[in-house]
Amino acid sequence: MLGLGMTALKSNFSSLRHPYKLTFSITYKCQSRCLTCNIWEMKPTNELSLEEIQKFAARNNYFRWVEITGGEPFLRNDVLEIVKAFKENCKDLYLLTMPTNSLCNREMVLQKIEAMLEMGISKLSITVSLDGYRELHDKIRGIPGNYDRAIAMFKGLKELQKRHKNLFMIFGYTLSKNNQGQLERTVEEVRKEIPDITYNDFHLNLGQISDIYYSNTNLEINASKEIVAGEVNAFLKKRRRQVGAIPVVEGVFLRKLLEYIRTGKTPIKSKSLDASLFMDSYGNVFPSIMWGRRIGNIRETDYDLGPILTSSDAVDVRKLISEGREPDNWTACEAYQAIVGNIGNIIR
C-alpha cells in the first residue's frame, strides 16, 4: 500500500513517469441485458489474445493498480492467466479490482478468484453488481434470477474471505432513473439475506453516458437530480466512520458525486494519462472510460504504451485537461486518482 500511496501522492507535485493505474476491458462479451448500458449488444471479434496481453504486461510492467473489467470478465476462459500475466510482470502490483454480474457459474468464479488470491496479490477487490431489490434488479439487468445469483456470489465471497484476508468485496450500485429512490429499500432487502450487511458494503456510481465504453448514447438513463442527491446525502450519513486511506477517499468520492449530481460539472481535474488510462479489449487506448479520444492502439506499437503516451494526440489531451476542457463526468474508474492527485486543493 505504501508504494501505491506514495506514487499517487507524488502526482500532486509532478508528472509521473508512467501511469500507475490501468483500467482494462478484457472483453465486451456480456450476458446481461441492462437498461443503462449497451455493452451486451456488442458482438466482439478480434479481441486481444492471451499472448498479446502477456506481451503488453511484460512491456508495461509498472502498474501498481490494475482494474480488469468488461463486459463480464469471467466470460474469458483465460481470465486467470490474464491476472497472472500482470502479477508476474508488475512487481509492484498492489491492487487488482474486478466486477462481476454473477451470471457465470458461481463455483467456477469462486475457484478462479481463490486461485488469484493464492498468487500473492496484496489486495484483490471484487465488485458484485446489484442495482436494486430482487424484482427491480432483475428488471434493470434483464435477467430473471440475477438478484439471487448476486446474493449467492456475495455470500460465497464472504466465505472465501475467511481463508484469504487479502480479499475484499462490495456491492456496486448504479444510480439511474430506473432505480431512483430505491437504494434504502435495496439495502434493507439485502440485509434480510445477509444480516451483517451495512451501507459501507455498497459503492455508489451514477449512471452516465459513454460512447466508447457503455455505448449508451441512445439511452435515457438520467435520474432526477433531487431524488438521487437526496439518496447520496442520506447514504453518506448512514455510512459508518472508518479509519484508513481508502474509506477517506471513498468519502470524498461520494461528497464530490453529490456535487456532480447537482452541477453536472467534473468536481476535480482528472489525472487521466498521468496517473491512469483506459484500454479496451481491442488494444485501443483512451484517457478514460468516459472520453472517446483514442490516442493509439498497442497493436500498432508492438504492445508498448511508451510511443502512445508521448504521441501528439496524448500531448493534446494533456493540454485539454490542464485547461479544464475534458468532458464532464465523475466515475470511480478515474475519480480516486483525481482525488489523491489533488489532495492539496481538497483539504484547503
153-162 b/e (C-beta count within 10 Å ≥ 16 → b): bbebbeebee
Peptide bond connecting 283 to the previous residue in cis, omega within 30 degrees of 0: no
The pLDDT, as a whole number, for residue 189 is 98
Segment 64-121, tens digit of pLDDT: 999 999 999 999 999 999 999 999 999 999 999 999 999 999 999 999 999 999 999 9
Pairing assessment for the beta strands 167-175 and 202-206 based on DSSP bridges: parallel
Q: Among 35, 101, 91, 100, which residue's Cα sits nearest to residue 63?
A: 91
The total number of structural domains in the chain stands at 1
The pLDDT, as a whole number, for residue 13 is 46
The pLDDT, as a whole number, for residue 224 is 95
pLDDT, mean over the chain: 92
Predicted TM-score (pTM) of the model is 0.93
Within 93-165, where are the H helices?
Answer: 106-117, 134-141, 146-161
All three cell numbers of 203, joined, read 459503492
Within the chain, where are the H helices?
Answer: 2-10, 50-59, 79-89, 106-117, 134-141, 146-161, 183-193, 225-238, 245-263, 306-309, 312-322, 332-341, 343-346
The pLDDT, as a whole number, for residue 43 is 87
Segment 268-307, tens digit of pLDDT: 988 999 999 999 999 999 999 999 999 999 999 999 999 9
Q: Among 285, 321, 292, which residue's Cα sits nearest to residue 306?
A: 285
Distance CA 76, CA 61 (A): 22
Segment 212-228, tens digit of pLDDT: 888 888 988 999 999 99
Please state, for a pLDDT cut of 70, what percent of the chain lies above it.
Answer: 93
φ, ψ (nearest 5 deg) of residue 90: -90, 90
CATH of the domain at 238: 3.20.20.70
Bigger pLDDT: 193 or 269?
Answer: 193
Segment 1-52, tens digit of pLDDT: 445 655 544 555 446 689 999 999 999 999 999 999 999 999 899 999 999 9
Distance CA 35, CA 185 (A): 20
Average pLDDT over every residue of 126-146: 98
Give me the domain span that covers residue 309.
2-11+20-346
The pLDDT, as a whole number, for residue 290 is 92
DSSP 151-197: HHHHHHHHHHHTT-TTEEEEEEEEE-TTTTT-HHHHHHHHHHHSTT-
Distance CA 191, CA 170 (A): 14
The pLDDT, as a whole number, for residue 348 is 46
